[in-house]
Amino acid sequence: MINFKDLGLVNSRELFAKAVKGGYAIPAYNFNNMEQLQAIIQACCESNSPVILQVSSGARKYANQTLLRYMAQGAVEYAKELTNGKGIPIVLHLDHGDTFELCKNCIEYGFSSVMIDGSHHSYEKNIELTRQVVEYAHKYDVTVEGELGVLAGVEDEVSAEEHTYTQPDEVQDFVSKTGVDSLAISIGTSHGAFKFKPGQDPKIRLDILAEIEKRLPGFPIVLHGSSSVPQDIVKIINQYGGKLKDAIGIGEDQLRLAAKSAVCKINIDSDGRLAMTAAIRKVFAEKPEEFDPRKYLGPARDMLKELMIHKNNNVLGSSGHAND
Ligand code: G3H
Ligand code: 13P
Ligand code: ZN
């Protein structure tokens, strides 16, 4: 058993309380490799923002969970190096945990926060599973994110055609019966780069968010599927041989409004994937003679970092809040 505190990590409790009060959201960025992690830490140190490092089941399979844990531990030291020893608050979070065993395993590995995503189960089963994880996690002061409502699109191996919006009438009951520290909700965001069909009004249901906030004043709310799919980045991908047709994301203005309310964690993965792909495609097209991975992964890392600084400054509003 490794306790996250011994690794220099923090759980999300205090960060969320400050974010809700301060009207901003903490960025939750997924990582699977070194370049992504470097970009996240560099961006968050430069913008003086707290950060949630997210590891999905897919990331664990791809990179190996032990390696990812040590990378996060290294990130704590790297952040200190970049900030004259001060560091920034770093949470290591399991994204979309689907079983009690997986959450338990991550907690034993030193994660400071886990998500138990029971949203595909019945309401009763979701409560039972989430409660079981909360009981275990809280023994070690690890914070837990639950989910109510189903996002459209693909979440790991599970996919849903339509959104099932979170019902505001259920949130108080769910939170009190499970004891979760934060709640992910479904209000029209979805995973991936194709969140809306052309011609659809690309709006999220901020009215449902307001209703949920009324039922749970000051309680930390989480938004998944919050990439904005920047069209300038999609354009670069397509200009250099990519084929992304009709990729549409969530408007930054809507996310900014959400971050000013009870939303205190915003999950972004796809935008980072797009940024890295754009940079790599550009190098491959312009310098076909290059074959040193540093020559294309370096620019990919730089583009990702630039994107994250922009998000922290202009979308989440988390910049400058590392030492709140
Ligand atoms: O919610 C999904 C995240 O973007 C992680 O994606 O399962 O492909 O690693 P992944
Ligand atoms: P995006 O696919 O919109 O980046 O969402 C990521 C996410 O919710 C990770 O849990
Ligand atoms: Zn998600």
Neighbours of 219 (CB within 10 A): 19
d(C-alpha 206, C-alpha 227), whole Å: 16
User: Rounded CA gap, 283 and 296, in Å?
Assistant: 6
User: Nearest Cα to 248, choosing from 228, 267, 232?
Assistant: 228
Q: Is 222 helix (H, G, I), strand (E, B) or coil?
A: strand
Name the residue among 147, 145, 155, 90 with its Cα closest to residue 115.
145
Burial label for 162, CB within 10 Å (0-12, 13-18, 19+), is exposed
One digit per residue, pLDDT tens: the chain, 324 residues?
999 999 999 999 999 999 999 999 999 999 999 999 999 999 999 999 999 999 999 999 999 999 999 999 999 999 999 999 999 999 999 999 999 999 999 999 999 999 999 999 999 999 999 999 999 999 999 999 999 999 987 655 556 667 899 999 999 999 999 999 999 999 999 999 999 999 998 899 999 999 999 999 999 999 999 999 999 999 999 999 999 999 999 999 999 999 999 999 999 999 999 999 999 999 999 999 999 999 999 999 999 999 999 999 999 999 999 999
Determine whether the shortest distance from the Cβ of 265 to ligand 2 is under 6 A.
Answer: no
Which CATH number among 3.20.20.70, 3.10.20.30, 2.60.40.10, 3.40.250.10 corresponds to the domain 4-316? 3.20.20.70
Query: Which residues are 267's β-sheet partners?
Result: 28
pTM for the full predicted model: 0.97
Is 227 touching ligand 2 by the criterion CB < 6 Å?
A: yes
Counting ligands in written order, the one closest to the CA of 147 is 3
Nearest CA-CA partner of 163 in 149, 147, 148, 152 = 152
Distance 289 CA to ligand 1 centre (A): 32
C-beta of residue 209 within 8 angstroms of C-beta of residue 250: no
Closest ligand 2 atom to 271 CA: 4
Instruction: Decide: 52 and 12 in contact? Cβ < 8 Å.
Output: yes
Please choose from 40, 52, 117, 269 the residue to mutate so as to test ligand 1's pocket, defined by most ligand atoms within 8 A of CB: 269
pLDDT digits (tens, 9 = 90+) for 24-61: 999 999 999 999 999 999 999 999 999 999 999 999 99
CB 110 within 8 A of CB 4: yes
Going from N- to C-terminal start, the domains of the chain cover: 4-316
Cα(254)–Cα(258) distance, integer angstroms? 6
> Torsion angle, CA of 206/212/214/215, rounded to 10 degrees?
170
Mutate to test the pocket of ligand 2, among 150, 194, 224 (most ligand atoms within 8 A of CB): 224
